[in-house]
Amino acid sequence: MDDSANWHPMSLCDGYNEVWKQYWDNFNAMKAWFRHHYAYTNWTTASAMSTQPQPDWRPGRYHRRKRRQRRRKRAQWKLSRKARSKRKRCTNRAGQIAQSRDDTEVDNEFLSFMMVTKLHRQERDAMKMKTNREDVKQSWLTCTDGEYIDVEKVSIYYRPSRVEDLQAPKADRRSIARMMYGAAGDKIYDMEEAMQARFDAEIDSYGPPLWPATPLRL
């Protein structure tokens, strides 16, 4: 659109209102002024950039300096690493020499000490095994007929069911039930005794084995 052309929403033939003529004239003048100054600003900026000398900036200089610094640090790290490894080798060599001297001096004494220690350990292990065997032997089930008892003669309680449990008399068990259950202790104790008697009767009647019969004797 040309700057000198005026723009109106409606032409005069369409019933243009003369009241708005001043408004649209001011609008067109403002638009022309804006375009003129916008073009002038672009022109001055372009001419200033063309006449201004370019700075002597070299982006590669910074990177080269950084590379030199990295190479210098890497070389220093390698030197320090070599020095540490050298000191470590010297220390290890000195320790090995001292250890070899000590070994040559106390070699016979050390061997005799190790032999005595080994014999003592063997005696201790043998005594420990013997003690364990005796403990296991004492823990085996015994009865009046002998030291061993047949598997088929052992009930689910690892004792003949008809043998009375002398370690816990009925009076003691009843008092324990009273202490645990209070006034209902006698009733609960009678129920437990009835259940136990029925269970023992079933065990005695059918005699179920604990496991398949084997020729082993406990």
User: What is the rounded distance in angstroms from the CA atom of residue 90 to the CA atom of residue 98?
Assistant: 12
- When pLDDT is cut at 50, 70 and 90, the band that residue 25 belongs to is confident
User: What is the rounded distance in angstroms from the CA atom of residue 208 to the CA atom of residue 206?
Assistant: 6
Q: What is the pLDDT of residue 191?
A: 92
User: What is the rounded distance in angstroms from the CA atom of residue 4 to the CA atom of residue 197?
Assistant: 126
- When pLDDT is cut at 50, 70 and 90, the band that residue 33 belongs to is very high
**Residue 143 reports pLDDT greater than 50:** no
**Which pair of structure tokens corresponds to residue 29?**
């003048």
**Which pair of structure tokens corresponds to residue 21?**
């003529």
Do 156 and 202 contact (CB within 8 A), yes or no?
no
Q: What is the mean pLDDT of the chain?
A: 73
Report, as an integer, the average pLDDT of 158-180: 66
- When pLDDT is cut at 50, 70 and 90, the band that residue 1 belongs to is very low
Please give, one letter per residue, the 3-state secondary structure of 90-105.
HHHHHHHHHHHHHHHH
Q: What is the pLDDT of residue 173?
A: 81
pLDDT tens profile 91-121: 777 767 666 655 555 577 778 888 888 888 8
**Residue 9 reports pLDDT greater than 60:** no
User: What is the rounded distance in angstroms from the CA atom of residue 26 to the CA atom of residue 12?
Assistant: 18
If one counts every other C-beta atom within 10 angstroms of the C-beta of residue 177, the result is 20
Q: What is the pLDDT of residue 215?
A: 53
**Residue 10 reports pLDDT greater than 60:** no
Task: Output DSSP code: residue 169.
Answer: -
Q: What is the pLDDT of residue 194?
A: 92
**Residue 143: closest CA among 162, 128, 159, 127:** 159
| Alpha-carbon Rg for the chain in angstroms | 56
User: What is the rounded distance in angstroms from the CA atom of residue 16 to the CA atom of residue 8?
Assistant: 9
pTM of this structure: 0.25
Q: What is the pLDDT of residue 166?
A: 47
Please count the residues of the chain.
218
Report, as an integer, the average pLDDT of 21-49: 87
**Residue 165 reports pLDDT greater than 70:** no
pLDDT tens profile 68-91: 888 888 888 888 888 888 888 877
Q: What is residue 108's three-state secondary structure? A: helix
